[in-house]
Each structure stands twice: as C-alpha cells, then as structure tokens.
Amino acid sequence: MPYTATSERPAQPPKERAAPAPGHEKINSVIVRVSSLVPALLLVLAVLAATPAFSSGKTEADEKAGAVLFRDKGCAYCHGVGGIGTKKAPSLVDLRKDKLWPPAKITNQILNGGQKMPPFSDSLTDQEIAQLVAYLRAKHRPVPPPGPTPAPAS
C-alpha cells in the first residue's frame, strides 16, 4: 500500500544494531570511565573557584587592601613602589596584561617564590594573597594610604 498523508505507515520491525567493530569496546569503556569523572571534576573546580586564593572575584576593597599589603609586607622593597621594578626584582606594572601570568600562576609565585623571590606561604593568609593578586591585576591600581610613621627615637 503506498504511503499518503492520510494513510498510516506500516509498522517497521526494529533495526538490529551492528556489533561494535573490534577494538571499540576499549574506547567505549574509556568513555564510560571518563564520563563518570566529570561530576567530580566539576565539584573540584567549583571548590577551587570559591577559594579566595583562586577566585578572580576582585573588588575595589580587595585591590586597596592588596596595595597596603604590597607596601607593608615587603613587596615594594624589591619590586619598587607600585611595582615599577628595581635592580632586585622585575616590574609588575604590566602583569595584568601578561597572558603568561594568570591569577593562579601569580598566586603560586607568591606562595612558593621562585628564582630570587622567597616564598611567602608562611607569612600571608589565603585572603591576603587573593588581595595582592587583585591589586596586581587591577586595571587602575589604587595608591595605598600613607603608612604609619615611625615613632621618634628618644
């Protein structure tokens, strides 16, 4: 019976699937294993994104706090006021634009040091590191307020 718009289609028997070609069983098992890891990886990424040292959620308050930390924790001693660079350490002025230095790499450098830079993992909290990263990555770096004046010698 020919098919027309008003007539019903005759029932088709279900098509049998061909057996996978030899070697595809391994690929299928790998796909199943990898796909079972996806939820765990997403959870890890969510936790890391919520961790202050890895989050890129920089606020103006974090940038200002980072400016004060840069001055008070000794960063300016080597990198110069505002991170302009000195003979001791490189300029950090254009760090924000440098694609080779994402926030995670800056965080790692502060924590673990490298080349001539000492590690600061023992002297800075995760929040302070996040504030320093926010300051270093700020489009318009804030100038820290004047530091405390030393007490006069008696």
Site of tokens 């673990």:
112
Written as six digits, the tokens of 61 are 């308050």
Q: How confident is residue 41, by pLDDT bands cut at 50, 70 and 90?
A: confident
């001791």: which residue's tokens?
A: 88
Within 13 Å, how many C-alpha atoms sit on residue 133's CB side?
25
For the cut 60, the answer to whether the pLDDT of residue 7 exceeds it is no
Taking all residues of the chain, what is their mean pLDDT, rounded to a whole number? 80
Largest CA distance in the chain: 113
Q: Whole-angstrom Cα distance, residue 100 to residue 83?
A: 18
Q: Is the pLDDT of residue 29 over 90?
A: no
d(CA 79, CA 130): 18
pLDDT given at position 145: 77
Ordered structural domains, the chain, with CATH: 25-146 (1.10.760.10)
pLDDT at 39 exceeding the cut of 70: yes
Closest CA to 110 of 142, 136, 81: 136
In sequence order, what are the residues at sequence separation of 6 or more whose Cβ sits closer than 8 angstroms to the Cβ of residue 93?
A: 82, 83, 84, 85
What is the reported pTM? 0.59
Residue 117 phi/psi, 5° resolution? -80, 130
Helices (H) and strands (E) in the chain, counts: 5, 0
Asked if the model's pLDDT at residue 147 lies above 60, the reply is yes
